[in-house]
Structure formats: structure tokens, C-alpha cells
Structure 1
Amino acid sequence: MSRFKRLKMHKYKVRVTSVCLLMISTLLGCQTTEPQTSTSAPTSVGGEFSSSQANKGISVQNKAQALERADEAKSNNDYERALYYYIQALEFDKADADVYFQIGEIHRRLKNTDVASRAYQNVLKYEPEHSGALQALGGISMAERDYQTAKQHLQQAITIDQQRLRKHTVENKSSSGQVALQSVYLSLDDNSPVNAYVVAGVIEDIQENHALARRYYQLALQHRPKSAPYLTNIGYSFYLTGNYEHAEGYYKRAINYKRQFARAWSNLGLVYARQGHYERSIKTLKQIMPEHDAFNDLGYFLLLEDNLDLAERYFTQAINTSPIYFEKANLNLEQVQLLKRERLLKAQALPVNGSSVREVNKGSTEEILNHNYKE
């Protein structure tokens, strides 16, 4: 696999976690207290979804009361208490898909991914076409690098959503007309699982189906025209195919709407580096990081591009401009010098001792070149 392809795959892998984070961005709140009215604990119905920190001994009279208290706790960011009340709601109705979905959402916020997955699976048990649960399961599988499973969940969510939209848009069509519409994606609305389209787009870009990826991004962007993440996704899709002019345009639009959106700045810096505008790349990267980090990031890009002389120059600048010992840049500089030595010895047909750059720098691309997919 070429260095460019490795860079491309690494960069999108690191985005996976942050794409999921966009779906669960609300901060966790503190617990509140409430007088206890009994000593009962959750029964077996919701036992697998309970939290060790949930308030014990709080009983309710019916499902409506449980949901009312759960929603109130959730609105106050008191997720542990909300979880307890949702579990109690299950005692009155074991087949409520929406309650399982809320339980899944809370556990995902609490980073209990396995428990969240089980809750979402229960949603589908009682409501197989619940697009929210399919979207969430797709995001979880994506974070686990299980692209095949993620794609299945996401495509199902998208298909269900498009069928819903089509049902509201088209009536009394002939079967031939309905078939023709299958190739047309309708605009999303407030009930659409927007992130299902976005994450599906990321997978399509990974699998080099860039036209379909951009179609998904555009649908999301039409619904939220000023979304910096969506604009940056489209820009990166164009970057992957070497269309740097389009990529630059989308990155600049993202920055215009969200000035401090780091991913747009870093990717714009990569565009300039790819075009050989290294000083412009440094200036761009400095918008979101110290100068010595910008030199190091550009140096590592050049290392991946096999431009060892320039990589050595920028790693040296990173070390010289850093106010403290810059371990990462020193290690990267050592790898450049090792590679140059290996090539010199190889040219002279002499034995080589030492590790290769791929071994020493394994995993560094994700850490250095892409500063996570975060808002």
C-alpha cells in the first residue's frame, strides 16, 4: 500500500471516535438527591442496564410517573437518576422500544458501550425499523473499526428514512415510478438520522466510493448548511481524490462558520503541504497549535511523502523552536536520519542495523497528523 493510501486510511480511522462523539456531545451533570420512599431495587427486567451509582430505593406508582421523573432528571443532566427511572418504567412495560433507546443513549453518554449496544438491540427487537437505534449501533460499530456491520446498520437507517420521506412526498405512484425514485435521495428533515448519513459517508470514503460519500455529506449539509464538520468532511473527500482546490474551498467555508474548528485548519494545512506551499502550511497550522508543533506535523507529513531532506529540516526547526525538550520531534528526526543512513548503506551494499521507520513510528500518523475529530 502506498504512503498516501496509508495516510488516507489512518486519517479516517482517527475520525471515527469523534464522529460518534458528535452524537453524544452533551456534558454529564451531577446527581441530585431525593427522599427515599422504599427500599426496593431494580428488578430483573432492567437489571442488565442498571448503574452501580443509580439511586436505590426510589419507587414510582406507574409508567407515566417513571417517565416524567426520568425526563426531568435527563433535562438536568442527571443521567444516573434518569437511568434508574427509565429502568423502573420497564417494570410496567417490558416492550417499550423508546425506553430502551433512552437507556442506550444514557449508557453511551456514560461510555458504557457494551451496555448501550444491548439496549439498542432491544430497541430493534420491539421496533425493527427504529432509525435512531440503527444509527447508534452503526456509530458504535464504526468506532470498533467493524465497517461491514456499521455499514449494514447505517444503510438500513438511511433506507428507512428515505422510505419515510418518500411516503410523505409521493402518493399513488405506479410501481415503475417507485422504482425510479429509489435512485434519488430526498432532502432530510428534522426527523432524519442525519449522523447516519455522515458516518456512512466516512465509510464510503474509506472504501473509495467518494461520489456516494459526498452525496451523503451534501444531504446532511443541506439540512445543516453551516455545519463545520460536514463541510470539512466534504473537503477531505475531495482531498483524498487530489482535488485540492475544492478541498480548500470547503475548509475555508468551515472556518468561516466556526473559526476555531481545528480539523478544518489542520486539513487546510495538509492541502498546502500537498501543493508544496510549506510556509503557508506552517502559517495555517499555527492557527491551532504552537509553532514547534506545526513544524513537527509538517515534518512528519514530508516523512510520509518520502521527502527526507525537507522532513529533517522541519523536525530540526521544531526542536529549535520548542521551549522545552521536544521528545516527539527528536524521535522523528532520529527516524529520518536512520532512513537516510539505511539508504546510504543500501546504496553501498553494506549491512544495516536498526529498526525501520515503519516499526518505530507505528501508529504515529493518527496521533500527529490528525488532531482528532472534535468540535
Structure 2
Amino acid sequence: MKRSFKILKRIGLVLLCLVALLAMATFLYLKQAQFGQAPSGDRLAKIEKSIHYKNGKFHNLIETPTLSKGYSIWGETYNTLFKSHPRRTPIDSLPSIKTNLKTLSPDTNVVVWFGHSSVFIQLNKKRFLIDPVFSGQASPLPGSVKAYKGSDIYTADDMPEIDYLLISHDHYDHLDYETIVALKDKVKFVVCGLGVGAHFERWGYLPKQLLEKDWNEKIAIEKDFVLFTETSHHESGRSFTQGQTLWMSYLIQSPDLKIYISGDGGYDNRFIEIGKKYGGIDWAIMECGQYDKAWQSVHNLPEEVVKASLDLKAKNVIPVHHSKFTLGKHPWDEPLIRITKLSVHQPYRLATPMIGESVLLNKSNQQFKQWWVNIN
């Protein structure tokens, strides 16, 4: 008995040491720069004054569980890892166009989509860059969530000088460490939700560059040219602690055009309110991809993208958050197929550019190919 007890005791000590080593390795790994920095000091004090920050974290306007009723985290993990989900990643290389952004005429109002949610906008001679991810991956874990073949043709070096870098939230597929560091000397101002600036300061950006905002604030760009921060229904976090930074959507209003950028977020009545508030939207850049009924509260299904676009009274809609990374269980091209079918006979025009293709904001008759057809 004594011998058995000693053996069990040794096994227990070995297991305890292994757990301690794993915990220490995880702790040290999360200290890497790519994981950013938690808000502290004056930044945290400002966060704590927000009406959207309660009990140590930010909250959506209407609280709903991330997982839909009838689903569980263990069930979804098993479903993702062990069940078959065909065509989640394309075999073929995706078609694209390499537009030279540095030689665009300053007078051209244009949108260029880079895959997933990364978008360049030139409007009234001002340049905006939204959620750029040019590292080729959407996760900090080596070898995971890589960009599709043909989808990662742009780099930070291809970007011109950027007036406003807009970040919707700090998840890795929207706030990419390698890209942000590479862009540092090209960016005049960063616009982001409360708390997100802590990441940028750790990565070498100056406090005077950072415009950290709560919902329902505005930034005057020029006379009659304003950037508004709007609500979303999502979440945030780059490690185990969640909700320490605020997630956003944006409205860019020039004298002639209103452009809405949805960021990530599930459907709620905010789209009706935003449509009323701004009197309709000329261009809506809408999240449409990497969705699932299991997490419908934080990502729109295609049917909800249509409903939201109608709520916004959008004249033109560009679906994004697809065709670069596999984060959902649906076929890679399903978002495009479904939104195209659902948008027939709708009052808005659906624009489905290839990666890198120029979308001319003042040209109402520009045609776009269904470029995803016949791609395996």
C-alpha cells in the first residue's frame, strides 16, 4: 500500500508540475506584443465613465447570449472539429485585380475591398482604411486560419498615406498586429472604440494619433464632412479576458455621400435607428459571411443582411466578411450565393466586386461579375 501511495504521489507531483509549466508557458505566450495591451490608468478611467461599461466590461444595448438557444459550446466544438462541412475553403485560387491605390486620382471617390472586412475608401480626397489584415492569417496561432489562395495579394507597402485608419473591434481578423505595425508611418489618425488604443500604444503609435470613441460620437474631418461612431451588437477580446474594449460601426458623411460600415454584429433595431438618424445611406458595407445560427446574435445571416440594408434605406450594398478566411462552417461561397439571390428585386443595388476591384461611388451603372461562379 505504501509503495502504491508513493507512486500515486509521484504521478500527482509530475502532473502538477506539467500543469504549472503549461500555465507558465501560456502566461509568457500571451505576453507577446501581438496580443496587445489591456487598458489601464487614464484610459481605463475614461472607459469606466462610459454608460456602456458595467461590472468590469462593455455590454451590448440589448443583452442576449452569444450562443443561440439550443446550442452549447461543447456541442459546437464537436460539430466544428469532428463533423464534415464541405467546401469551407476554395481549392482554386480566387480571381483578383491589383489596383494601384497610390496612383488613384484624388478626385475619384472609390471603394476597394481586399477580402474579409478590409476596405479602402477614398472620398473627397480623404483616404480611409478599415480593418486591414494583410498578414495572411486571422489567428495568432501559427499555421491556423490562413488566407485563401489569391485573396492575399495586397500588403501594407501597397497602401498610400492614410488619413483615417478605422478599427471596428480588436478581434484578430479585424485588428492584425503585423499589418498595424507595418502601417505605422503611413497613418495620420486611428479611430477606434474605447480601450482599443492601448493596443496601438504598445505597438508604437503616439497618443495624439489615437481617437478612441464611445458610441454616438463624431469626428469633424472638414466642413460638412463628418465621421460618426455608431453602435453594433458584438463582443471583443484578444485573450481570455473579454469585453475590455468597445466594438463599433461607422458612418462617413461627406457633403454628397453617406457610407455606413457595419463592422461585425448581429441583427437588432439599430439599423432602423441609424437609417432614421441619417435619412438613408448611399453605400452600406455590410458584414455577410462567417455566420452560423449557433452564434446568430453576433453575426448576421444573409437574410438579416437584407433586412438590415432595407432598415438603413441603403441605395447600394457591398457584402464583406467573406472570401478570405474560413471562420464559419458554411461553404466559402455561400454568403455570395445567398445574398445575390436574396437581393433580386430589392430597392438597393448589390455590388459584388472582386478583391482589389475599384467600386466607383459616383457611378450608378457600374456592373460587377459573379466572379465566384465555377470556382471549386
TM-score (norm 1): 0.27
- Larger proportion of helix: 1
- Larger proportion of strand: 2
Larger Cα-atom Rg:
1
- Of the two structures, which has the highest relative contact order with CA contacts closer than 8 Å and spacing of 6 or more? 2
